[in-house]
Amino acid sequence: MNFKFKIKGKVCEFKNKIKKINNQTVFAVKKKEHRMESQSGSAFSAIAEYFLNLDTVVYGIAMNNLDAVYTRITNTDELKDLKGSKYVQAIVGDIYLDVEKDLKNNKTVLFGGTPCHVDGLIHYLKYKKVESSLLFIYDFVFHR
């Protein structure tokens, strides 16, 4: 893998403990047409579809042979590649650079992945001083 930047220790680190949030609003989502291809109720597909119909860019995980890799999509036909949980660590590659490029081109971006990779992206963009008001993020909660 050819990484174009190395800023180890400055971007991807969980410095703070996860804070307990009180008074949360919880929604349950079940979208019939995506459910059988998704891991749970297909909330992801419902949200991604909404964004893609607004002409935005969506990032998630697709399989590339045996690798799970962060992938950029721009239309609902490509959504099938991102559906479903891939229970391996995804390869980040140069995807933060792609997000940076999209934001600099004033594109609205929906980016999702593991909490640590999402956190890494946020720190990366702050480090690079990229204007991020068009960035929307999603991640998921692990529980045992």
Ligand X SMILES: Cc1cc2nc3c(=O)[nH]c(=O)nc-3n(C[C@H](O)[C@H](O)[C@H](O)COP(=O)(O)OP(=O)(O)OC[C@H]3O[C@@H](n4cnc5c(N)ncnc54)[C@H](O)[C@@H]3O)c2cc1C
**Interaction site with ligand X (CB under 6 A):** 38-45, 60-61, 68, 82-88, 90, 112-114, 140, 142-143
Say which DSSP state 77 is in. G
| Token representation of residue 19 | 């804070």
Comparing CB distances to ligand X, the nearer of 65 and 106 is 65
How far is the first Cα of the chain from the last one, in angstroms, to the nearest whole number?
Answer: 32
Comparing CB distances to ligand X, the nearer of 134 and 138 is 138
State in angstroms the smallest separation of the CB of 17 from ligand X: 19
| Token representation of residue 29 | 């989502």
CA dist 61 and 82 (Å) reads 5
Comparing CB distances to ligand X, the nearer of 11 and 95 is 95
Chain position whose Cβ is nearest to ligand X:
60
